[in-house]
Homo-oligomer: A and B are copies of this chain.
Amino acid sequence: MHVPDRVIVVEVGPRDGLQNETAMVSVDDKVTFIALLSAAGCPVIEAGAFVSPLWIPQMADTADVFARISKRTGTRYTALVPNVEGLNRAHAAGVTEVAIFAAASETFSRKNINQDIDASLAGYRDVCGRARELGIQVRAYLSTAFGCPFEGHIEPRAVAQVAGALIDMGAFEVAVSDTIGIAHPGQVPAVVTAVAERVPVEKLALHFHDTRGTALANVLAALDLGVTTFDASAGGLGGCPYAPGATGNLATEDLLYMLDGLGVETGIELNAVLAATRFMSARVGHAPASRYVAAMHAAGASTRPDDRRSSS
């Protein structure tokens, strides 16, 4: 099994995490959260979204957040944009890297962004064109790449086709996403191989949800295939919008625990991310989904193992 020397972990907690929390978090608390993640060494932090506040009220204050982030050298601060208008707002807020979001499933595309795939790609071509003029880098999400809540199975060729279109229009990277958390390591090679035939593997990121507990196994399978960029959310913030109560984003701490164990460098300090998670957990009002965080919390609560016998 192959593992690379270094992996880029894209921290999506402040955006993909918080937008799926019911609690509204203040600008102050978002700025503190992002500062803690920066101090942990995160190389990329998705800090907000320039979308309609009618769509996602949790992200309505993203311009205020960007105005107040203390930017750390070595960290890229990014924001989601749905269209040229959002891009212009991001630019006005001083954002230099944005993310667009397409889908591999026609039905999901219509339900999620109210456009079919081709229409969404046409809009994103405009975003990429304008971004070039502004000197802004564009990342692309590709949702439902491992399955769709409406259509079920999605053909890897279809995923590769949309991924290729996103790279062709100027995205520097495509985050192939397991939106509903059903991916398993038996599926990862088929999807990664299909996309890698169309897109250089260095431009391929993976965005896993841990809804069925397979996210780390999926990462392990993907490392073996040469993928070196993975999205994660501090504490597993965000939950699963398609099954409230279930786990959503892969927790950054769980990913770092495995990568640290594998000797893969990330530049991120696990315990410092844990501190950021503890700060934000108190604001969102529930315990983090991360197994690692739960173990650390439990270990802190009971400082010594009991003497229960015959444990295995």
Contacts and interface: CB of A to CB of B under 8 A. Distances in A.
A306 interface: yes
A261 B212 CA distance: 12
Contact of A305 (B20, B189, B241, B295): B241
A256 to B, nearest CB: 10
A185 B312 contact: no
A220 B312 contact: no
A240 interface: yes
A89 B55 CA distance: 65
A143 interface: yes
Contact of A213 (B113, B245, B257): B257
A298 B214 contact: no
A224 interface: yes
A224 B1 contact: yes
Contacts of A242: 299, 305-306, 311
How big is the A interface, by class?
A: 35 or more
Contacts of A55: 309-310
A254 interface: yes
B262 A186 contact: yes
A271 interface: no
A243 interface: yes
Contacts of A111: 305, 307
Interface stretch (A24-32, A61-69, A286-294): A286-294
Interface in A1-49: 1, 3, 12, 16, 19-20, 49
Given A210-B291, A217-B258, A258-B214, A56 B309 contact: yes
A73 interface: no
Interface in A247-300: 247, 251, 254, 257-258, 260-263, 290-292, 294-295, 297-299
Contact of A245 (B49, B149, B294): B294
Nearest to A100: B310
Interface stretch (A157-165, A174-182, A194-202): A174-182
B308 A184 contact: no
A200 B10 CA distance: 42
Contact of A301 (B149, B213, B244, B308): B244
Nearest to A177: B312
26 contacts: A19-B310, A20-B311, A49-B310, A51-B309, A51-B310, A82-B309, A101-B312, A112-B311, A113-B309, A143-B311, A179-B312, A184-B261, A185-B220, A185-B261, A186-B261, A207-B312, A212-B257, A212-B291, A213-B254, A213-B290, A241-B308, A241-B311, A242-B311, A244-B301, A246-B297, A247-B291
